[in-house]
Amino acid sequence: MSLDDYGWNGYFSERFDSLNDPALLPARVLFSSGRSCRILSASGEVNATLAGRLRHESRSASELPVVGDWIAYRPLAGGQSRVERILERRSLISRKLPGNRSLEQTVAANIDTVLVMMGLDGDYNVRRLERLLTLAWESGARPAVLLNKADLCSDHDAKRAGIVEVAPEVPVVLLSCLQDPAVGMVTALIAPGETAALIGSSGVGKSTLVNRLLGEEVQATREVRQDDSRGRHTTSHRELFRLPGGGLLIDSPGIREVQLWAGGESLAMAFDDIEGLAAACRYRDCAHAAEPGCAVVQAVGSGALPSGRLESYRRLQAEIRALAARADPEARSARNRRWRGIHKGMRKINRTGRR
């Protein structure tokens, strides 16, 4: 097994070579916890601790290794290893840490595809999906939607149509994790050497899907509550797995609360239908409320745009503006610069269909 099988490419090779330290070796983080992590190097899996300098110079937890990161480590005597540097990330899934403080919680790094999983039972919620898709676009990866438990839903085609209506550029897959065809439909979304991250609420079937994709029971599963289709967390940490077909998958604990750590460009990509309509508004700074000549409000009035879609857009827009107002200006500026190029590239991919 080579590092290429785990996503190593020219991008990361260039950044590793720039360190110019022959004592360091490259590896990918499979699991991270506190001051240590499990990494995959060319010689196999090893446990590694974080260098004190890396911990002390990090301004926040978001600058410490997370699952999916490519790092440079130093082999030590006695079979020990120490993580010295994190290579520049190509993408990063983040959310605001739950609570009142404006802190970033990193979820996974260097993701190609974010698989947003939703159950076709009590978990189905188009407004929450819009929030998750905004989080996915912010990461710099491309999103896809997995609608699970199709076997338990009599109107699954109508519900799928509801998702396609709000995310026309995003692949939407109907599946049942308990049936064999689900494996092929999901693996088709993850090319060999590419990394997908699986996110969604507790009880939607993420752990069951991981077990089916791997062909073995590696993640614990529990039954969901019948009254609200919710489940308790069975996955307690994020971990990277290599699938039999060559793709890579990161499973994560269920997300109960999705607080955005995002910018306006991500919101525009998640609501590109509203952004398209806004181009015809009379005023460039139209708030899509009571302004005359607002094409968005007119579309709601004619039934071309669901009113709930516009309400969700306004709510998320207000949330992002409030976050920006509270966040440290220097950190906000750095984040905007970091993702501006990524979002530009993602828009080009959407237009051309090429990677």
Sheet of 113-119: strand order equals 172-174, 142-148, 113-119, 195-200, 248-251, 239-242
pLDDT of residue 225: 44
Return the CATH superfamily for domain 3-86: Nucleic acid-binding proteins (2.40.50.140)
H or E stretch at 109: strand 104-109
Higher pLDDT residue, 116 or 323? 116
**Tokens in use for 131?**
């929030």
Q: What is the pLDDT of residue 248?
A: 96
Domain with CATH 1.10.40.50 in the chain: 264-352
Q: What is the pLDDT of residues 148-162, one digit of tens each?
A: 998 888 888 999 998
Q: What is the dihedral of CA 183, 187, 192, 194, to 10 degrees?
A: -130
**What pLDDT is recorded for position 190?**
95
CA 163 to chain centre: 18
260, 103 Cβ separation under 8 angstroms = no
The answer for 11, left when phi > 0, alpha when psi is -120 to 50, beta otherwise, is alpha
What is the pTM assigned to this prediction?
A: 0.80
Q: How far apart are CA 122 and CA 100, in angstroms?
A: 28
Tens of pLDDT, residue by residue over 207-262, are 889 989 998 766 655 454 444 444 444 444 789 999 999 999 998 765 555 666 66
The CA distance from 349 to 355, in Å, is: 6
Q: Where in the chain is the domain with CATH 2.40.50.140?
A: 3-86
Q: What is the architecture of the domain spanning 264-352?
A: Orthogonal Bundle (1.10)
Q: What is the pLDDT of residues 31-43, one digit of tens each?
A: 988 778 999 999 9
pLDDT at 231: 45
* pLDDT score recorded for residue 343: 53
Q: CATH 3.40.50.300 spans which residues of the chain?
A: 92-251
CATH 3.30.1330.180 fits 92-251, yes or no: no
Angle, CA 318 vertex, CA 314 and CA 321 arms, to 5°:
140
